[in-house]
Amino acid sequence: MPAQCCIGVDMGTSGCRALAVAGDGRVVASARAALPAPVRLPGGSVEQDPELWWQALTHALRGLGLRLGAHRPAALCLDGTSGTLLLCAADGSPLGPALMYNDGASHAEAARIGAAAPADSPARGAGASLAKAMRLIARLAPPAGSRALHQADWLLGRLLGRFDVSDWNNALKLGYDAQALRWPDWVLGLGLEAIALPRVLPPGTSVGRLDRAAAAATG
């Protein structure tokens, strides 16, 4: 009977890394896939096509699968660059490029947040994902039901076949209150009516089973 393993995936700036870990903590396989550099534009904007992340993820997971030997994957956990955000349709289709974690062009939006947010909020500043969401809404005019998702949220959505969840760690920079466990009123008053904010869960929560299409894509 095959031994079980868990897969950890890190989507970084330069590439995607995947590890398979046995129950005793031993790494049984690893794989990686490179990513092209994000596009830097005048004014401090840093953008990337989200489909590049999916291509890197599927490439890394397929390579990992070829190295697993007698081990069978039982669970997968994924992280991404904090603050990287995109808008997508309800089916996950990106509405435009993602704004990367080091994008610093959302100054006007950051000023509006600064006037509304508590002084200690992680959502303050042009680098926070809330400012990026506001800028993308103004830029892309998303249809009703569109979603604002962080890099890890969107990639997990591709694996699950649904795009409705985030976790505390990602959602903090979008304004989520991890103490009250809700989206605060000051966030909802910043013109986010055009998008559906994700359901936010504790980090590490099991969010579902691998979608059949994602299983086929990743091997």
Predicted local distance difference test score (pLDDT) of residue 194: 86
- pLDDT category of residue 10 using cuts at 50, 70 and 90: very high
What's the predicted TM-score (pTM) here? 0.95
pLDDT in tens, 82-135: 899 999 999 999 999 999 999 999 999 999 999 999 999 999 999 999 999 999
Which is nearest to 165 in space by CA: 210, 208, 216? Answer: 208
Predicted local distance difference test score (pLDDT) of residue 1: 65
pLDDT surpasses 70 at 188? yes
Radius of gyration of the chain (CA): 18
- Mean model confidence pLDDT for the chain: 95
Mean pLDDT of all residues in 140-167: 96
Distance CA 171, CA 133 (A): 12
Mean pLDDT of all residues in 137-158: 96
Predicted local distance difference test score (pLDDT) of residue 2: 76
Which is nearest to 162 in space by CA: 91, 212, 78? Answer: 91
pLDDT in tens, 11-64: 999 999 999 999 999 999 999 999 999 999 999 999 999 999 999 999 999 999
Which is nearest to 218 in space by CA: 67, 61, 53? Answer: 61
CA torsion 163→168→172→174, rounded to 10°?
10
